[in-house]
Amino acid sequence: MAKQKRFTDPKKNAGKQKKRGPESANEFLAAGVDFEEAGEKWRAGDAEKSLRFFVRAIETYDAGLQFSPSFDLAYNKARLQYDVAQQPRLLAYLPTPLVDLLKLALDSHRYAMSIEQENADLLFNTGQVLTSLAETVSEGRNALESSKDRALTLFQEALGLFQRCLELQEFQFAEAEQQSARFKDSDTVAENEMAMMSGSVSDASEDESWASVMEPVTRNTLVDTLIAQLETLTTMCNLAGSQRNSELAWIEDYSRELIQGKIAFYVEGTQRHQEVALTKANLICAYSDYQFRSGFLDLSTYERDVATAFVEIPNLSQNPQMLCDMADAELALNASVTISLQATSQAPCYDRTQLNTYRWTHLTKALDHLTAASKLRHTQNLPKIHLHRGDCELLRYRLGEGSVPYDVARKSASTLIGNAEVYYRGAARLARNEGAVDEEREALVKEAVAASILGNVVKLSELVGKDKKLVSEVVEDMRDEGLLSPDSVSVLSKIP
């Protein structure tokens, strides 16, 4: 989440005054903050009204920048643009594509950096905008290889900014620690603090008492930045293709320094050991997957890395996010075994039956993790979890197809498809209740596809009549993800 710069409240003059427009940077800042606060007030209840206030706030900050290149105005404009781009409920009322909104936010962050280059919060926020933009340009079935190359470049730029941010934060943290040590045994700590507060207020004018609130850098602040770096590295590994050879080999040394050195030190004294352990586990799995796809890691070592990555995390069975991440790691392993192993020199070492056994085992583990997550009270994103459960069953069903079918999958085919249909139906119902339109549409199509495999084409035919484009897109995605064979797609495309 973007770091928000906080400000003290402006003093209000007594008595009524004639309303006039803002005329100084501070007045534009005050007006913009007022619009932001109004937007926050309506964010939960009326997204469209909330967006109008946020747009007015952005326009006000921008208008102020025409008068003065104020860092505070530039920072707030950039931060708010990114915040709006991260809110799906607000995006529904904007005609501008997400990628263009993120590009605007990035331009605004770069402008703010041209005013002040050594602001840790701004560096962190800009890194986040870059990672969001990278993820957006590289996702989807139509993402070109050039888009993925562009995304990797954006990720690397984000890493550089996170590193600069970390260096500044470490300097500020060390300075604060030294200052704290100097005043530790002093009886004048309170007096010094009061003197500093008094001085900052007296320097401001009576009617313009705006001042940036500089939040102290703590161990939690440093952990935030380190986790952002590790998550960026994880996404880069997931994005990289198998033909890139040693392009990302540097990640191992880079991440080792972060994990064994800095984060191990700064996490002490916080309550975030579990969060750090999960981030580390996800990176281990992603990097092992990248190495396996690139031919640098054998299957048994890859399996061992996935099996051991999460074992040291306490209370694992009670954390839905961790269970879902474990499922993702198992699904990634299945996909890589399917795509990469048969295309490398390792292929002769494994027959088709052995590969199917590997895949069945890991798909079953993924399904077990997702099922466990779905049963916990505080689980979020239940529609997506049920969608993934349905996907797991379709993937297991597919093992029973082909010239060398996996016997267990073949004998359980109708049960597996029936399970998938039930999970997709549940996902659609939950998504409808939560107002998650995209998940509901995806689940409805997948449910209809599962039903059609069992011979009931009524639902799919109805959906084709209502929105043929949607059905085609979801079916194509299912094919690309290995949920449907090309033959099945061909049959489904002929349903009127």
Residue with the two structure tokens 């004294």: 269
pLDDT at 203: 41
Query: What tens digit of pLDDT does each residue of 357-371 get?
Result: 989 999 999 999 999
Residues 6+ away with beta carbon under 8 Å from 416: 393, 394, 396, 397, 400, 409
Give the pLDDT mean for 74-81: 97
What is the rounded average pLDDT of the residues 391-408?
Answer: 92
Average pLDDT, stretch 437-454?
94
**CB contact burial 179-217 (16+ within 10 A = b; e otherwise):** eeeeeeeeeeeeeeeeeeeeeeeeeeeeeebbeeeeeeb
- Residue 19's pLDDT is 62
Under 8 Å between Cβ of 376 and 369: no
At 494, the amino acid letter reads K
Does the structure show a pLDDT above 60 at 275?
Answer: yes
Query: If pLDDT is split at 50, 70 and 90, which confidence band does 352 have?
Result: confident
Region 220-238: mean pLDDT is 95
pLDDT > 80? residue 186: no
CA angle 190, 192, 195 (to 5 degrees): 110
Q: Residue 183's pLDDT is what? A: 72
Cβ atoms < 10 Å from Cβ of 87? 15
When the pLDDT of each residue in the chain is averaged and rounded to a whole number, the result is 86
Give the pLDDT confidence score for residue 145 in this predicted structure.
62
CB count within 10 Å of CB 325 equals 21
Q: From residue 280, give the alpha-carbon distance in Å to each of 42, 152, 229, 274, 323.
A: 37, 20, 11, 10, 15
